[in-house]
Structure 1
């Protein structure tokens, strides 16, 4: 599964990351907060949550609004 990390600037393209890379980072750190781009589908984000819960992590998932427009948000995934 390939997901898009949150952008640092509004006009740049989001960077891609594989699910295996996320799992590797969590194996090292045991807990981490990830921010994902709004261009990820909600279905893909739920698949990520399920995949991480399956390997024993507690996941807190939410949408973060950073502006007033409907499309100004990102996803936050906090894995413990």
Structure 2
């Protein structure tokens, strides 16, 4: 499963990351906060949640609005050991 990190610039495309790299980061740090782009499907993020909850991690996800338009949002994900 590939997910896209939140954009840092409106003109650029979001950077992709695979599940193995996310998992390695969480294992190294213990707890992490990730920001994912709105182009990710909600289904993929729920699969990510299932994956980490099966490993005994707590998973919290929310939408973060950064503008007035309905399309100006990103997903904030907290993964906690």
Q: Same fold (TM over 0.5)?
A: yes
Whether 1:55 and 2:58 are equivalent positions in the alignment is: no
Query: Which position in structure 2 is the counterpart of 1:42?
Result: 42
For this pair of structures, how many residues does the alignment match? 80
CA RMSD in angstroms comes to: 0.5
Q: Which runs of 5+ in 1 are unaligned?
A: none
TM-score of the superposed pair, with normalisation by structure 1: 0.97
Name the structure 1 match of 2:7. 7
Greater than 4 Å deviation, 4+ residue runs: none
> Which residue pairs with 2:22 in the alignment?
22
Query: What's the offset of the Cα at 1:49?
Result: 0.8
Give the CA deviation at 1:11: 1.1
Deviation of residue 56 (structure 1)? 1.1
Task: Give structure 2 stretches of 5+ with no counterpart.
Answer: none
